[in-house]
Structure 1
Amino acid sequence: MTADAPIAVIGTGVIGAGWAALFLARGRDVMAFDPAPAAEQALRSAVGEAWPTLIRLGLADGASTDRLRFTSSAAEAVADAVFVQESGPERVELKQRLFAELDEAAPASTPIASSSSGLMPSQLQAMCGRHPERVLVGHPFNPAYLIPLVEVVPGKETDSRVVEVAMELYTAMGKRPVLVRHEVPGHVTNRLQAALWREAYSLVERGVATVADIDTAISYGPGLRWALLGPLVNQHLSGGDGGLAHILEHLGPPTQAWMDDLGEPQLTPRLAELLVRGVDDELAGIDQRRLVADRDALLVELLERKALRTALP
Structure 2
Amino acid sequence: MKVAVVGTGVIGASWATLFLAHGHDVVATDPAPGAEERLVAAVGDRVAFTDDPAAAVADADFVQENGPERLEVKHELLAVLDAATRPEVVIASSSSMLRPTDLARGAPRHPERVLVGHPFNPPHLVPLVEVVPGEGTSTGAVDAAMAFYRSVGRTPLLLRAELPGHLANRLQAALWREAYSLVARGVATVADVDTAITEGPGLRWAALGPITGQHLSGGAGGLAHVLEHLGPGTEALWDDLGTVTMTPELADRLVTQVHDAVGDADASDLLARRDAVITAALDARRFR
TM-score bracket for the superposition, by shorter chain length: over 0.9
Post-superposition offset of 1:177: 0.9
1:223 to 192, 197, 202: 202
Post-superposition offset of 1:76: 1.0
Post-superposition offset of 1:92: 2.2
Post-superposition offset of 1:220: 0.3
Post-superposition offset of 1:250: 1.2
Post-superposition offset of 1:240: 0.7
Question: d(CA) in 2 for partners of 1:135 and 1:170?
Answer: 15
**1:286/1:264 CA distance change after superposition, 3 Å:** same
**Residues 1:45 and 2:41 aligned together:** yes
Which amino acid counterpart does residue 182 of structure 2 have in structure 1? L
**Residues 1:158 and 2:154 aligned together:** no
Give the secondary-structure state (helix, strand or coil) at the position aligned to 2:172: helix
**Residues 1:105 and 2:84 aligned together:** yes
Question: d(CA) in 2 for partners of 1:75 and 1:288?
Answer: 35
User: Which runs of no fewer than 5 residues in structure 2 stay unpaired?
Assistant: none
2:53 to 56, 61, 74: 74
How big is each residue's C-alpha offset from its partner over 1:117-153, in whole Å with a ceiling of 9 and x where there is no partner?
Answer: 1211011111111110000000011111111111101
Q: TM-score, normalised by structure 1?
A: 0.89
* 1:257 matched residue in structure 2: 236
Q: TM-score, normalised by structure 2?
A: 0.97
Post-superposition offset of 1:301: 1.9
Which amino acid counterpart does residue 12 of structure 2 have in structure 1? G
Question: d(CA) in 2 for partners of 1:241 and 1:266?
Answer: 42
For residues 1-313 of structure 1, the aligned pairs below 5 Å read: 5-48=1-44, 66=46, 68-307=47-286, 309-310=287-288
User: Which runs of no fewer than 5 residues in structure 1 stay unpaired?
Assistant: 49-64
Post-superposition offset of 1:113: 0.2
RMSD of aligned C-alpha atoms?
A: 1.2
Which amino acid counterpart does residue 32 of structure 2 have in structure 1? A
Post-superposition offset of 1:288: 3.2
- Runs of 4 or more, structure 1, over 4 Å off, are none
Post-superposition offset of 1:82: 1.1
Post-superposition offset of 1:91: 2.1
Count of residues in correspondence between the two structures? 288
Give the secondary-structure state (helix, strand or coil) at the position aligned to 2:163: coil
Segment drifting more, 285-294 vs 264-273: 285-294
How big is each residue's C-alpha offset from its partner over 1:101-121, in whole Å with a ceiling of 9 and x where there is no partner?
Answer: 111110000010000112110
Post-superposition offset of 1:299: 1.6
Post-superposition offset of 1:298: 2.1
Percent of aligned positions with the same letter in both sequences? 60
Post-superposition offset of 1:221: 0.4
